[in-house]
Structure 1
Amino acid sequence: MRAVIYSRYSTDLQNDRSIEDQVALCTAYADRHGYQIVGRFEDRAVSGASLHGRKVFDLLAAAEQRQFDVVLTEAFDRLARDTADSLFILKHLDFLGVKLVSVNQGQAETVNLVIHGLMGQLQREEGARKVRRGMAGVVREGRNPGGRPYAYRPVAGQVGRLEVVEEEAAVVRRIYAEFLAGNSSRTIAHGLNRDSVPPPRRSLWNASTIHGNAKRGIGILNNTIYDGRLTWNKLRMEKNPDTGKRVSRENPFDQRQEVEVADLRILDAGVFEAARVRREATRKPRPEMHRRPKRLLSGLLRCGVCGSGMSTSGKDKSSRVRIRCSAHRESGNCPDAKTCYLDSVEELVVGALIEELREPRKVTLFIETYVAERKRLVASSQRNRSTLGAKLARVQRETDRLVDFVAKGLFSEEEVQKQLPALRAEKQLLQQELESVPHEVETVVLHQRALSQFEVKLARLRDELQRGIDDGNSEGAAAIRELVDSVTVYPNRKGGVSVSIRGKLDALVGARGFGNLGVVNGGSGGPFAPPSTLGTGHSVGGNGGSGRGT
């Protein structure tokens, strides 16, 4: 019977020879039982707590192609340390008629797999508890359990001991002094970037790096170590079962551990507490916490220079709201400091939409042009399908031939392993090319009734704007959000503004999968004009491409 070997070890702290030892054990077992080894699957320094990002799925894919009859592994917990994952693997292998055999635990069946899977899961969880217990002991001794806070570095030869980096400590003191002097986090970040002060991790200082999150205890202004107090267990990491990625969760305050580390104090007495009081006094709800948009175009505006979002930036003497690039405000990373009036942008967007909806022939022409182009691409791509299919068949034949040579003893596994990566890479590229070939395009039908309904709603919205009503939750605002994906704003030096509207035609046509088909300068040609009628100025062509007529 043909067999493959699966091996794994958990972390890069373990011996890399563990894989070779497991393979040797499984190979000896195969020799004793008359199995013919035809392949290997291995995961190095990968946890068994999740299947995501592991070669287990490659193994199951090979099983579906009937490449082997048996899966050999040292122990069931090498495949998974989660009971549900173990049963998932066994169920799929059983369906494909492939046996799962552990050298130490025998052939897998539901009962013994559940028992061993549960033992592996309990061992993993107990190991995690012991690690946390050890970290708690490290904190009690005044040592750092992990991670390097800004303004500190580890002491050579003393595990967990930190020492102050005076150059960075001076930056921390500057941040607190400016904050207590009344400067905002944005202003402080601008100044640090202007003075080319190296940030903790990213290429630039941001406001969030400074003010962070008070509840989570992150950010320069929230880190108690600057006040001579080492706080641990603020967060815990949990794996998302759907993605396998680790996500952070806040721990209750009564579970956090804090010890005095006077030798690591950077700030003078009372400075940290004074900053905390000011943060509490000036804290406002974050914009993303609002359940509904506050204004008509909230969340839709983009800077025409850098592409970042735009946000309100105060009012003039007549109470007209200004908007400005958020990246310029937060970090000074965008060179465009110009502001423009929100009501001017809103009027331009609404007017452009109404104008285009009154001329459905433009939408129809765009659809016809788009469908014709898609059909041309399909016809061209179909001619390549046979060529790509022949290449894929050749790669598969070469792969099968190498495996057959190993099975017959003509080639060693080491010789084959040198050739397989190139074949696999070529196969993957060919499959990606095939997936990129567009499929046949269905007929797209314009909803005439939708045009008139949207036009009525937008006309009502224009009346509201002229009366000074800017409600992000009105019926007209909802219509805007159905029609518009984003609005890119281009302020000019004379105080004027032009916009580029990225539209969504799904609301107007009967097509499936035709989101964001086209946009154009809102002042010259309208948001849904076909590529052949694009005007001058800033514009984006069909299907989200940039430039005129694309």
Structure 2
Amino acid sequence: MVRKVTKISAELIAAKPKLRVAAYCRVSTDSDEQLVSLEAQKTHYESFIKANPEWELAGIYYDEGITGTKKEKRTELLRMLKDCEQRKIDFIVTKSISRFARNTTDCLELVRKLTDLGVFIYFEKENINTQSMDSELMLTILSSLAESESISISENNKWSIQKRFQNGTYKLSYPPYGYDYLDGEMVVNEELAAIVKRIFAEALSGKGTHKIADGLKNDGIPSRRKANWTATTVRGILCNERYTGDVILQKTYTDEHFNRHYNYGEKDQYLIKKHHEAIISHEEFEAVGKLLNQRGKEKGIEKGNSKYQNRYTLSGKIKCSECGSTFKRRIQGNGNNKYIAWCCSKHIYDISGCSMRSIRDDVIQQAFITMINKLIFGHKFILKPLLQSLKAVNYSDNLFEIQTLESRIEENAERSQVLIGLMTKGYLEPALFNAQNNELRKEAALLKEQKEALSRSVNGEMTVTTEVEQLFKHVSKAEPIDSFEENLFERYVERIVVYSQVEIAFKMKCGITLKERMVI
């Protein structure tokens, strides 16, 4: 009897399905440096997951600019849980328990929920895989430690800050406008101090904060970080007691739930007199304070009121190419022929100082419509080559170096917390504590400086790439527009530069500048 043998091709054998693995990342602030750090984490997990032939990348979920103590505020974490419920994820990797959740209850609740769904988690730092655990004991202990660590760090920091408040050694996070730091001390910057004196003098003469800000802008005087002078900025200077040489510490505080509040008497405040050299006398400061309070009562304006916020889409966005001033909104014409126009603020106050004429609001809007429609029709020739060249840049080496520096900064912070803990419990002599703490601070400052320098170099290009990509996605799918869309303008345009009554340029947030001729 001849046996019949049938060959089964290897291709017909069902291959073992790959494990769909997702990664979760989180940073606690939304600063540029932290966002680059987030990008470093994302790059790490992409490589980590793709390096395993039995895994396939199911997505990278990341929350930025939020605290790890409140899961309800982490939208990406909640989205990841939803995807797990929809059977899109089999396994999750994350850096540590403290990154995943700093609250024991939340951590266990999330782990149990995922386990019920058949989804397990790998915590890199602790080397824990919830799939291989016989019980929740170890996770309970470690998550409790993470929660305790969060509280302990906060309490130790508070203790350290309180001590510095009490003995007058607390260093302000940054000196106010008009001062510099020199060898750890606040010293007067004579050039900027003259501006502060001018602001107080003009306020005492009866000028409002808006007029003071306009005068500073028109005279081309730089503000802190080269930002625009505003009424709010001026008011902040006029209400800052530090210009008298005194300092009030603990104006705000953090509660046990990690929420920040203004201190209205819930915590002690500390007044340090003659902390540094004064720019303004106490008499001037108090006189200005009375004027501001009186003017506020007369107008019925409370602190923090939004009365003076920009009310129009183009407010603060139009710049003069001739003098650099901001354009202001005006109603021009007479009777039935009135129309909205934008005028150079310097030209308004001094025609000889700037010759730029006003431009109509509807003409600007039409130029924007034309510009967007050109991008919609020609995005393949305008944006696509730019996007391809930006994406070709490889940041992996820099991102790896940033991640290495981050790890070293974390280790330094952990050593610092141990040191503070030993000091608070009386196990360490003050002299030894100060010596070791100073060394750690020097090391932390150097590491932070290196990381920030590297982050700034990477962040600029990454931001441009993201903005170009977002604009490309929009215009590649959008239909031509026939009316001005405020949301579209605010999303993609950083500012408008006016060259003449017939030519303006739209400086886009992605870095490109597009000129348009206007039809009057």
TM-score by length of 1: 0.43
Higher relative contact order (CA 8 A, sep 6+): 2
TM-score of the superposed pair, with normalisation by structure 2: 0.45
User: Larger radius of gyration, structure 1 or 2?
Assistant: 1
